[in-house]
Amino acid sequence: MIALRGVSLVYPNGVRALDDINLEIAKGEFVFLVGHSGTGKSSLLRLLYREARSTAGEIVVDGIRVDRLRRNRIAALRRHLGVVFQDFKLLVDKTVWENVAFAMQVTGAHTRDIMRQAPRVLDLVGLSHKSRMYPTELSGGEQQRTAIARALVNNPKILLCDEPTGNLDPANTTEITALLQRINLKGTTVVVATHNQAVVDRMRRRVVRLDDGRITTDEERGYYYLGLGQTQVLSG
């Protein structure tokens, strides 16, 4: 489903964010991306939806050579992906409902389908009662849940989540995690970049660990810390 082979990313300012990344993610997998702040997690995700373009290497997403994608085909790629951005990236002049509907609208979806699907995802993230509010009128966590709803609305084949629970309380975090798990069970490939040790340690799924732009470990059923659950670390 996703394959990176020898991928490097050097930003225009000279920062080498990713260095010789080799990673295969199969259809239906659930992958955590962990690592220190500034280690390249967001950069890796950015390559997949072509917000950034790799400096070297080969990237295939859903059969598409993303690194070679022509500019006018990028929109089509992004429509098949659901992305939860680390900084939410909500449209401030659109309501919660409109933000979510908009993501369907651009795919050319039928209004009938939008009217059915948008309320459904808003309900999933627990924001039905705020659907008429603007992002500036939302709390941080509500904004984050709006971003999640928008990423889900198109039933994407691949879901990329960048720190999706950074502004959520544990209860909400648990719910959103359960939601991601359910979506994954329906066959969607899910990649989550996160610092939330509790989430990673509870789920015990594949964990890809980045350090300074390189993949250092890749475990099938991993913890946030190499081989250690948080209970051991914190209350051991």
Ligand X SMILES: Nc1ncnc2c1ncn2[C@@H]1O[C@H](COP(=O)(O)OP(=O)(O)OP(=O)(O)O)[C@@H](O)[C@H]1O
Q: Which residues of this protein are in contact with another protein, per CB under 8 A?
A: 49, 51, 72, 74-79, 81, 83, 85, 89-93, 101-103, 105-107, 110-112, 114-115, 150
Applying CB under 8 A, the span of 7-15, 21-29, 55-63, 71-79 interacting with its own copies comes to: 7-15
Q: Any residues with CB less than 8 A from the CB of 121 and at least 6 apart, and which?
A: 100, 149, 150, 152, 153
Task: Between 113 and 211, name the residue whose CB sits nearer to Mg ion.
Answer: 211
Binds 138, which of Mg ion, another protein, ligand X, none (CB < 5 to 8 A, cut-off by type)? ligand X
Torsion-angle region of 122 (φ positive above 0: left; ψ -120 to 50: alpha; else: beta) = alpha
Binds 136, which of its own copies, ligand X, Mg ion, none (CB < 5 to 8 A, cut-off by type)? ligand X
In terms of Cβ atoms closer than 10 Å to its own Cβ (0-12, 13-18, 19+), residue 28 is middle
139 in Cβ contact with 111 (< 8 Å):
no
Token output for 197: 């040790």
Q: Which residues bind its own copies (CB under 8 A)?
A: 11, 13, 15, 34-39, 41-43, 86-87, 133, 137-142, 144-145, 162-163, 166-173, 195, 197-198, 202, 224-225, 229-231, 234-235
Q: Which residues bind Mg ion (CB under 5 A)?
A: 42, 86, 139-140
